[in-house]
Amino acid sequence: MWKRSHIAAVAVALISLATISTGCHRPAGLFEITNYIDVGETEQLHEVFDEAYYMTSDDGNVDVVVRRGSRNDIDELNRLTQIVHIRSVFSPIEDRNKIESSMINGVVGYSIIGDLGAVCFQGAGFASFSENRSRHTLTGKLEQSSLRQVRRIGEIGDIFNRTRLSGKFKAVRDEKAVVRILNEMNRFLGPQPRYVPPPPGTNPL
């Protein structure tokens, strides 16, 4: 079973690989992960993603997937894939709808898939998007999200407790790529459970 120190080392290795591989090339996504270890104790990880795609439904909802897959230098047998999935419940396109960062407008999932197992965190969040004129590229920001573990298989061990995820991305419109990545995630972890919001009057963020 993985130890926390191993997870942290793998994360550092992934960040180093991302820096080397991207160079001056602008990555598709940059995310900050805040892990709440204990009362008053947190740790922060910064991760670079190299793929980002989106699709929109007929009713205007947006699905964004941001992916990074890598073989690390610490354990050649262990490959890690990280997938962030943002599904908005409406389309907060800038300059079209009045939006505020205190709002909750979508469901966020963060999956880590390795040779030893897989784990998925899910929760509510707020994301803002801006689509270019040709409706070909979506620039967006995940302002904040509060996630908890909802699925776990194999010997991946304990990675995070209560977690916050934020970041920014630039996604290309590609429905086939979105479906492919979501199928990859579901193949390891099973269908994503339906998000159950907290009781009225509470803010999960």
Read off the pLDDT of residues 14-31 as tens digits, 9 standing for 90 and up.
444 444 444 456 789 999
Q: How many C-beta neighbours within 10 Å does residue 173 have?
A: 17
CB-based contacts of 2: which residues, under 8 Å, 6+ apart?
A: 116, 155, 156, 157, 159
Return the pLDDT at 102.
Answer: 53
Look at residue 134 and give its three-state secondary structure: coil
CB-based contacts of 37: which residues, under 8 Å, 6+ apart?
A: 43, 161
Give me 140's structure tokens. Answer: 């967006």
Give me 67's structure tokens. Answer: 């992916």
Asked if 32 and 46 touch (Cβ cutoff 8 Å), the reply is yes
Return the pLDDT at 4.
Answer: 44
Residues of the chain with pLDDT under 70: 1-25, 70-78, 89-103, 157-158, 161, 193-205
* Residue 137 phi, psi (nearest 5): -135, 140
Return the pLDDT at 188.
Answer: 83
- CA 180-175-139 angle, to 5 degrees, is 110
